[in-house]
Amino acid sequence: MGKRVAVVLAGCGVFDGSEIHEAAAALVHLSRGGAEVKIFAPNIEQKDVVNHLKGSPTEEKRNVLVESARLARGNIQDLAELKASEFDAVIFPGGFGVAKNLCSWATDGKNCTVNEHVNSTLQAFHSAKKPIGLCCISPVLAAKVFPGCEVTVGQDKNVDGRFPDAETASAIAELGCKHICKNVNESHVDKANKIVTTCAFMCKAPLHEIFDGIGTMVQEVLKLA
């Protein structure tokens, strides 16, 4: 039987939810790796709803679990129901929804708070010494919850204009964590904490390179599981 992996989503759409390409890439690589996947999201209201055509917020209200169900093809559960004992690993794709809905990094940076069910999920997998995979902005969750851990969000300088959010690496360091510089097609494994991270869309790169980088993260998570 394949490894049992929980995937935690934050909505549907890069600007207010999970990044769709990242979520799909993680699910494709997990499928290829023979994993048995179940998808979860917190049953909470989104911080905001963004018109993805205009890039501007709307007055609309949406629910994170309901929106995430779009990506899960309806097969999804409330994050409050996730039991770490029933899984071998957990993966968090990125997207602004992570920084808005799963925590408050978008507005509060390193002083953010983490959603209670996200926090308890991370703590449960970590305590059980089960691997945690994160990509794009999601590594800030680990940085906030596990001081001293090692993560990557790409580079700590805006190399060739490809890493416009490089200052995130400094904020991670200010939390007492170690930021490891990696290219988009690479991932970093914090062996002590069993945390695997890759930068994904934190880098301005072709989609296939982001897909491949997420593939390395998934492969490393499955190896550790």
Residues with catalytic function:
136
Q: How do 195-198 and 188-190 pair as beta strands?
A: antiparallel
Residue 194 to residues 19, 81, 132, 188, 222, Cα–Cα distance (Å): 23, 23, 6, 10, 11
End-to-end CA distance of the chain, in Å? 13
Q: How far apart are CA 38 and CA 107, in angstroms?
A: 30
Q: Which two tokens stand for residue 99?
A: 């920084």
Let me know: does 89 contact 6? Beta carbons within 8 Å: yes
Distances (CA, A) of 215 to 41, 81, 97, 211, 218: 22, 27, 21, 6, 5
- 8 Å CB contact between 140 and 105: yes
Q: Is 2 exposed, middle or buried (0-12, 13-18, 19+ CB in 10 A)?
A: middle
